[in-house]
Chain A
Amino acid sequence: SAVISQKPSRDICQRGTSLTIQCQVDSQVTMMFWYRQQPGQSLTLIATANQGSEATYESGFVIDKFPISRPNLTFSTLTVSNMSPEDSSIYLCSGVRGGTDTQYFGPGTRLTVL
């Protein structure tokens, strides 16, 4: 399986602030994605992190709220901007290994906004 790590593993933040989540994948990963999992619910795709260019966002998610960077093949960041309690969720990055279709997930970042 692909090795995917995230930092921080959890955080408690005040409303109106921003948090940047980091995701590191091993070199065999080609595609990277960011998902959100609200409490007790399933996963929803936020965006595809494109290497060296702007991320591709899904309906309901915008760059101003969730800016994403992917400066190289193995690293991406997701920022949750101007946070409100409704942003309290688990944020997960994932990667697809080159030559396969298997998508692996990181351990997630558990965000609580007060």
Chain B
Amino acid sequence: GESVGLHLPTLSVQEGDNSIINCAYSNSASDYFIWYKQESGKGPQFIIDIRSNMDKRQGQRVTVLLNKTVKHLSLQIAATQPGDSAVYFCAENIEGGTSYGKLTFGQGTILTVHP
């Protein structure tokens, strides 16, 4: 759902379940998308990225899905572990021209994994 200020969306799952974290991005011109994981007291850690010429990309235990029609991005985490507990951010970028590297971040989702 929507979040304002300190009230980030939250997702609670049991260890071993699959997690799906969603993100609606804002700019239809964006052509590069990234998911980051941020643990408490640390900087964002790169998880996986995808370009707009793809609709799915898989990594180790993670899959990113991109739906450009509705400007939606999701991160699927398989067999979620307690170490996956963190805030997850999507980010978007327009790779060409002067916008290269200038990431626009989504609001973030707090993932809590219960043993």
Contact = CB atoms under 8 A, between A and B. Distances in A.
Interface of A: 1, 4, 31, 33, 39-45, 48, 56, 58, 92, 96, 101-108
B89 A103 contact: no
Contact of B95 (A4, A48, A56, A101): A101
Contacts of B108: 41-42
Given A31-B101, A33-B101, A42 B46 contact: no
A99 to B, nearest CB: 13
Contact of B42 (A39, A104, A107): A107
A108 B107 contact: no
Nearest to B6: A40
Contacts of B45: 105
B49 A105 contact: no
Contact of A103 (B34, B42, B106): B34
Contact of B89 (A43, A45, A58): A43
A44 B102 contact: no
Interface string B69-84: 0000000000000000
Chain B interface size, under 10 / 10 to 19 / 20 to 34 / 35 or more: 20 to 34
Contacts of A4: 43
B43 A42 contact: no
A43 B88 CA distance: 12
B46 A45 contact: no
A103 B98 CA distance: 16
Contacts of A103: 34, 46, 101, 103
Given A41-B107, A102-B46, A106-B43, 8 more contacts: A40-B6, A41-B6, A43-B91, A44-B105, A45-B102, A102-B49, A105-B36, A107-B42
Q: Which 10 A-B pairs have the closest CB atoms?
A: A40-B6, A105-B43, A42-B105, A43-B105, A105-B44, A107-B43, A108-B43, A31-B101, A96-B101, A42-B108
